[in-house]
Amino acid sequence: MSRTRELQHRWQTVMMENYGTPPVALDHGRGATVWDVDGREYLDLIAGIAVSTLGHTHPAVADAVTTQVSRLGHTSNLAIHGPGVELAERLVAITGRPGRVFFSQDGATANEAAYKIARRHGWTKDPAGGSLEIIAAEGSFHGRTMGALSITGNPAKRIPFDPLPTPVTFVPYGDADALASAVTDRTAAVFLEPVQGEGGVIPAPPGYLAAARRITAAHDALLVMDEVQSGIGRTGAWLAGDAASPDVTTLAKGLAGGMPLGACIAHGEAGLLLRPGDHGTTFGGNPVSCAAALAVLDTIEKDDLLRHATDVGQALAEGLAGVDHPLAAGQRGAGLWRALLLGEPVAPAVETAARERGYLVNAVRPDAVRLAPPLVLTPDEVERFLRDLPAILTAAQGDS
């Protein structure tokens, strides 16, 4: 029995079934390459779902974590620590506007904080409780906590856990007219992703986010931008939706290069809505994760990875668009965040065929394969994947 099969058997014995049984058991990595427990090598084109910003075992992150954990590993929210304050200052500076930060453990809890800010704003607008409605987009994903799930525009994920917090109204993503019709003075906030990740890497149409800003401002509703997947360089910019000047931005995934960390950044009066005792976390913003995040930000700046993500992402996009195969139907996305579109709903078979040939990708939708590699992915690695992609698609056709 291989080590992978052994670990899968042990997993099935002791782990809950919410993830199923993963098909691969990873052991170690370096850069954009990982190796499984049986020694097989893979080019990691999903990076833990857009998390491993600098790839695996990047020395800057490893050194920051090692140094910080040897000094101070945890404080809770009963004490200040330097890495947390510095990181909050850096994130506010990235937005270019004064703001205040709440640190959480992940994206769902960052969005949970934003949800509570929205509720507080609604009560401020109407103390009788008449302005608590949240508007979100069909096809969106904001997390699996009960509040974040309630604004996730995927009925299959929501319905098993009904009743969820209400009122929530869902509108078609990218349709500014539908959004304008839905938002009223009863609306507390609109939650949007600048690029829908779990929906299939769907960028907002030109002008949509700016329209959302105008619509929400006209009704004194908050605009919340979920940048959990899109933020920290994924699209070739620090933030994909900041040009719309949202009231609240949420971050996680790539923020700390693999360490657990989320952030909710609120501007203006939105940053003052949570009062002592309103919200909290034990582990969110711990000094080790904050030190890792500072190393990620420093490295992105020092190595010009925003430009790199733009340039290498463009090469990847052009290569995907030019794949000569009957199954290939184009691509979409931004920066180093792309979806290969398929002419048939065989994405799981493509994921399997890619893995068998040494590539890790993600079947995000039946007809779309998500690529969210480390920002350090090289042009040579892109070229290698594109060269092998037609054979992967042919194998997937045979397996489907």
**pTM of whole model > 0.95?**
yes
Tell me: do 36 and 176 sit in the same domain.
no
How many domains does the structure of the chain reveal?
Answer: 2
Tell me: do 31 and 162 sit in the same domain.
no
Domain of 15, CATH number, reads: 3.90.1150.10
Q: What is the mean pLDDT of residues 129-155?
A: 97
Domain holding 22, by residue range, is: 3-58+304-399
Confidence of residue 358 (pLDDT cuts 50, 70, 90): very high
Whether residue 362 is contained in a domain is answered as yes
Confidence of residue 400 (pLDDT cuts 50, 70, 90): low
Whether residue 65 is contained in a domain is answered as no
Tell me: do 26 and 102 sit in the same domain.
no
Residue 399 pLDDT: 73
Q: What is the mean pLDDT of residues 154-177?
A: 97
Confidence of residue 398 (pLDDT cuts 50, 70, 90): confident
Tell me: do 208 and 246 sit in the same domain.
yes
Q: What is the mean pLDDT of residues 344-360?
A: 98
Q: What is the mean pLDDT of residues 113-132?
A: 96
Residue 63 pLDDT: 98
Q: Mind listing the pLDDT tens digit for each residue in 312-339? A: 999 999 999 999 999 999 999 999 999 9
Tell me: do 295 and 331 sit in the same domain.
no
Q: Which of 268, 302, 336 is the last residue of a domain?
A: 302
Beta bridge partners of 136: 170
> Among residues 9, 84, 41, which one has the least CA distance to residue 381?
41
Q: What is the mean pLDDT of residues 168-177?
A: 98
Q: Which of 280, 302, 324 is the last residue of a domain?
A: 302
The stretches of 233-323 forming alpha helices (DSSP H) are 287-302, 305-321
Tell me: do 275 and 387 sit in the same domain.
no
Whether residue 321 is contained in a domain is answered as yes
Tell me: do 225 and 373 sit in the same domain.
no
Instruction: Give the whole-angstrom CA distance, residue 83 versus residue 81.
Output: 6
* Residues designated as active site: 141, 226, 253
Tell me: do 29 and 126 sit in the same domain.
no
Tell me: do 317 and 245 sit in the same domain.
no
Whether residue 114 is contained in a domain is answered as yes
Strand stretches in 208-279, DSSP E: 222-226, 248-251, 262-267
Domain of 88, CATH number, reads: 3.40.640.10
Whether residue 63 is contained in a domain is answered as no
Confidence of residue 92 (pLDDT cuts 50, 70, 90): very high
Tell me: do 341 and 221 sit in the same domain.
no
Whether residue 64 is contained in a domain is answered as no
Res 1 pLDDT > 90:
no
Q: Which of 267, 302, 337 is the last residue of a domain?
A: 302
Residue 81 pLDDT: 98
Whether residue 9 is contained in a domain is answered as yes
Res 359 pLDDT > 70:
yes
Tell me: do 161 and 280 sit in the same domain.
yes
| Cα separation values, 98 from 152, 290, 394, Å | 29, 20, 52
Q: Mind listing the pLDDT tens digit for each residue in 20-70? A: 999 999 999 999 999 999 999 999 999 999 999 999 999 999 999 999 999
Q: Mind listing the pLDDT tens digit for each residue in 257-312? A: 999 999 999 999 999 999 999 999 999 999 999 999 999 999 999 999 999 999 99
The answer to whether 55 and 61 have CB atoms below 8 angstroms apart is no
Average pLDDT, the chain: 97
Instruction: Give the whole-angstrom CA distance, residue 354 versus residue 20.
Output: 20
Q: Mind listing the pLDDT tens digit for each residue in 184-237? A: 999 999 999 999 999 999 999 999 999 999 999 999 999 999 999 999 999 999
Tell me: do 244 and 366 sit in the same domain.
no
Instruction: Give the whole-angstrom CA distance, residue 282 versus residue 331.
Output: 41
